[in-house]
Chains A and B, each alone.
Chain A
């Protein structure tokens, strides 16, 4: 576990580890809000003053892992880690991991509700996207905690809100949608592992063109021409994209008048 006083440095350290030719089994990043939430809940021994922590898991053959541990430590030092701790025993190792695995419920204790996002980005875009998220958080007044599968670029921003306050759920969803659009703009995806389902149906229109969405519908038609399996999920209709999506819409013109209005 390495602590950083700067999220940019932590992001760079991830790249440096990989540039060394080491592929960690797991590589997780948490920002300060997520660290404090997890520490308060699990008492994992996380440094609550750190701006970000990296949890790096190396697995494999005993000898190789020892070699890699030494190299990773060296890399983290060079990358400007303020503190590096190797789990002393199995119990501490389990605690470090428990903090991360319980980050969602931990954040859940800080706020009546939270909304978990699942965007992915190229890792190099992390500072830009985090700055964008901080700005959205400031504008909306909703706190956002960041938990990040740093190795593979999968972000899980957790937007804190209170559904009992009128309009806050809608505000949280709005912030979430904008975060996903930031991910797409950074060259990433609206979903790394949670799927589109119903939740991100409108954001699909930001990630794919109408031609691509048309191809998705064609694939669906090859297997389920009458559309009886899970209708309304995963792939938006072009009508939906025209209504909500990022298709270019000019003022006062009905978007895509040629599309059927159901």
Chain B
């Protein structure tokens, strides 16, 4: 069984001239880091499902939300597909690149924007590692509950995209149960806030819809998670 993209079964993909796309993006986004040489692209050709590898056309490494929005707008205008990737630890090939697509790697947006111990929330850029959240919250006696086994490396943005779990789900739930708010960008580069700082938001539960949507509906640019007080004790 070959699971690589098959235009006959997965739909046609427009062919793009890599040089032209690169020239256009470089001109429009001079400050954005774009990788295009084969040797630079190699590290990104697979995620945690390493049996399958595809060389992306280009790799973009944005450092701020404005760059992500501009990149999405340009790709949308050019009709170039975008595959978003966090730390690349996913086991189902969700971040497998496309030869005709840009791989949008969020790992450089990895700042912990805020830990509010009183509200028990953390506001994070998508590239923040799962374990880093609990480490940053530890001085306040708090932690972030979902703990996928790749938690040393995996990023919160990827956790949201996959609705990641872990070994404590029965009691503490999946990622979706521990989120408060997402900032996302649509493919057109439009910003939307899903969820809120309050426990619910007006309208449909788009926060739940986007969680686990595997990068198909938008790009997560900021995540607000709930933190829990550390249990007094844990025994086996």
Contacts and interface: CB of A to CB of B under 8 A. Distances in A.
Whether chain A touches chain B in the assembled complex (some CB pair under 8 Å)? yes
Interface of A: 1, 23-28, 55-62, 65, 69, 86-87, 93, 96-97, 100-101, 104, 116, 118, 149, 151-152, 154, 163, 169-170, 173-174, 177, 191-202, 219-220, 223-224, 226-237, 239-240, 243-244, 261-262
Interface in B221-236: 231-236
Nearest to A63: B232
Contacts of B214: 195-197, 230, 233-234
B119 interface: no
B84 A230 contact: yes
Contact of B187 (A195, A229, A237): A229
Given A28-B167, A199-B93, A229-B84, A237 B216 contact: no
A193 B148 contact: yes
Nearest to A96: B236
- Pick from A25, A101, A116, A232 the residue with the most CB of B within 10 Å: A232
Interface of B: 1, 3-5, 7-13, 49, 51-52, 75-76, 79-84, 90-96, 98, 101, 148-149, 161-172, 174, 186-187, 209, 212-219, 231-236
A57 B26 CA distance: 52
B146 to A, nearest CB: 9
13 contacts: A23-B170, A59-B235, A97-B236, A104-B149, A118-B91, A149-B170, A193-B166, A197-B96, A228-B75, A228-B76, A230-B84, A231-B10, A232-B11
B102 to A, nearest CB: 10
A193 B164 contact: yes
A201 B216 CA distance: 14
A167 to B, nearest CB: 12
Given A69-B235, A228-B81, 5 more contacts: A197-B90, A200-B92, A223-B217, A237-B10, A237-B11
A239 B7 CA distance: 11
